[in-house]
Amino acid sequence: MIALPNTLKAWQSNGFDAEFTHIFKLEIAQLDHKELPLQQGLSLSSYVSNEKVSAIINKTEETPNSIIIKSGIFYSGIIAGCSCSDDPGPLDTQNEYCDLLINIDKHTAESSVKLITE
């Protein structure tokens, strides 16, 4: 589980607005890639690169106990070479995108993240 305390505070202050969106994007960008299911969301490459991720909010919903965010994540994947002794090619990156469902507990800010596959 990850924690998104600043996103929760922004929601509790003003609901869905520009400040909430900004804070959510910042918190997502600061997470370690391993905390998000990005590897499972790859469609064009082999491995998630260490480059920054960026997020958009596609939909928000509030329940009595949680804030649910459907978010689009833009990130980069690596197309690895064959690692042969005669393979001079550098690692090539590819733009990737996936949708995540993020459920933020309104009491603790602990958040579950699930890859949306459609």
pLDDT digits (tens, 9 = 90+) for 35-68: 999 999 999 999 999 999 999 999 999 999 999 9
| 9-35 residues labelled b (16+ CB within 10 A) or e (exposed) | ebbeeeebeeebbebbbebbeebeeee
Q: At what angle do helices 5-14 and 18-30 cross, to 10 degrees?
A: 180
pLDDT at res. 80: 73
pLDDT band at 16 (very low <50, low <70, confident <90, very high): confident
**pTM value?**
0.88
* pLDDT reading at 31 higher than 60: yes
Torsion (CA) 15, 21, 23, 28 in degrees, nearest 10: 120
Q: Three-class SS string for 21-43?
A: HHHHHHHHHHCCHHHCCHHHHCC
Name the residue ranges covered by the structural domains of the chain. Answer: 2-116
